């Protein structure tokens, strides 16, 4: 039986992660990147669920059965973005070649000083966006997220950059979204991921790569309740040193009155999100980092 992402045990031993971090920081990115291939091989052999999820996703995307080397490339791309987090969090942006698409839209929203939501996905690296916003652009930013997933890795990354770590508003408490509202009222950007469903969350349905699945209703509901502008933001890894930052404006969520009206508005908004995700997934296929049975619900 397949497990949801929040039930999965953390992959990779602390020793292995420690070695990679040491190489990444002391010896450098080119050498650390050589280690990504044996790591990819290890996951390809041992992580059967991730392998199956990758194959399923690539098969849906391409419309024909995926080859093992495509699965390998997919896992390699994921491990490369995790390695690069080390550099993003320590502010070493000079290693990279960033291409921006739609940066003006973010600047326009920030100039209005009324706050904006940034909705991302596990498509590409959300961490690159967070680090660029906080470290690179000094944007006042908070991120709504569940905190105890991937604990060991989270602790390590938190130590690398306490400022980025401090920008988290933990989800799950009654006051989580009150904190988000207060941040928006101060003109801050509040980021969140819109593609993964957690327990005890309101859900909606959306079609993604030809099949329906469950999406969290939270981003659409929050945008509707607070009536703030929403940007879709993705940091796609394009190989080598290149990351493409894509920013686009999401349609406004109408303020609704009845429950039925709201359900329809949430579903339409979320479908727009899913359709745009599909667009970017087709543009950069190896950036989809949901390695579990995404269409199970």
Partner 1 sequence: MAELSALEQEVAQLIIDALNLEDVAVADIEPEAPLFRDGLGLDSIDALELALAISRQYGFQLRSDDENNAQIFSSLRALSAHIDQHRAQ
CB-CB neighbours of 101 under 10 Å: 13
Report whether 293 contacts 48 (CB < 8 A).
no
Nearer to partner 1, 10 or 185 (CB): 185
Nearer to partner 1, 181 or 272 (CB): 181
Residues between 211 and 230 that touch partner 1 (CB under 8 A): 217-218, 221-222, 225-226
Q: Minimum CB separation from partner 1 for residue 226, in Å?
A: 8
Burial of 272 (0-12, 13-18, 19+ CB in 10 A): middle
Nearer to partner 1, 34 or 178 (CB): 178
Q: Minimum CB separation from partner 1 for residue 225, in Å?
A: 6
The Cα 286–Cα 158 span in angstroms is 26
148 binds partner 1 (CB under 8 A): no
142 strand-pairing partners: 190
Residues between 161 and 180 that touch partner 1 (CB under 8 A): 171-180
User: What is the rounded end-to-end Cα distance, in angstroms, of the chain?
Assistant: 13
Q: Minimum CB separation from partner 1 for residue 20, in Å?
A: 35
Query: What count of residues does the chain have?
Result: 297
Q: Is 68 left (phi over 0), alpha (psi -120 to 50) or beta?
A: alpha
Q: Which two tokens stand for residue 180?
A: 């988000």
129 binds partner 1 (CB under 8 A): no
156 binds partner 1 (CB under 8 A): no
Site string for partner 1, 248-277 (x = CB under 8 A): ----------xx--x---------------
Q: Minimum CB separation from partner 1 for residue 262, in Å?
A: 8
Stretch that binds partner 1, among 8-16, 129-137, 149-157, 195-203 (CB under 8 A): 195-203
The Cα 237–Cα 82 span in angstroms is 11
200 binds partner 1 (CB under 8 A): yes
Q: How many helices (H) and strands (E) does the chain have?
A: 11, 9
User: Which residues of this chain interact with partner 1, rule CB under 8 A?
Assistant: 171-182, 200-202, 217-218, 221-222, 225-226, 258-259, 262
């Amino acid at each position: 039986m397949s497990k949801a992402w929040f039930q999965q045990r953390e992959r990779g031993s602390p020793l292995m992660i420690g070695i990679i971090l040491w190489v990444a920081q002391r010896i450098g990115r080119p050498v650390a990147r050589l280690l990504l291939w044996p790591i990819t091989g290890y996951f390809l052999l041992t992580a059967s669920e991730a392998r199956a999820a990758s194959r399923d996703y690539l098969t849906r995307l391409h419309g024909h059965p995926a080859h093992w080397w495509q699965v390998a490339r997919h896992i390699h791309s994921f491990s490369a973005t995790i390695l690069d987090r080390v550099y993003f969090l320590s502010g070493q942006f000079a290693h990279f070649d960033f291409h921006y698409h739609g940066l003006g839209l973010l600047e326009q929203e920030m100039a209005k000083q009324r706050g904006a939501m940034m909705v991302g996905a596990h498509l590409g690296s959300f961490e690159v966006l967070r680090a660029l916003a906080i470290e690179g652009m000094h944007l006042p930013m908070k991120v709504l997220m569940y905190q105890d997933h991937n604990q060991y890795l989270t602790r390590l990354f938190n130590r690398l950059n306490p400022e980025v770590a401090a920008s988290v508003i933990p989800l799950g408490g009654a006051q989580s979204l009150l904190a988000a509202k207060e941040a928006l009222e101060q003109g801050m950007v509040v980021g969140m991921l819109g593609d993964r469903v957690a327990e005890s969350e309101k859900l909606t349905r959306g079609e993604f790569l030809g099949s329906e699945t469950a999406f969290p209703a939270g981003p659409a509901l929050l945008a509707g309740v607070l009536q703030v502008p929403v940007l879709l933001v993705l940091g796609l890894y394009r190989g080598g040193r290149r990351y493409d930052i894509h920013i686009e404006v999401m349609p406004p969520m109408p303020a609704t009155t009845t429950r039925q009206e709201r359900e329809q508005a949430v579903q339409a908004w979320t479908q727009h999100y899913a359709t745009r995700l599909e667009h970017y997934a087709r543009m950069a296929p190896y950036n989809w980092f949901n390695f579990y049975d995404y269409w199970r619900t």
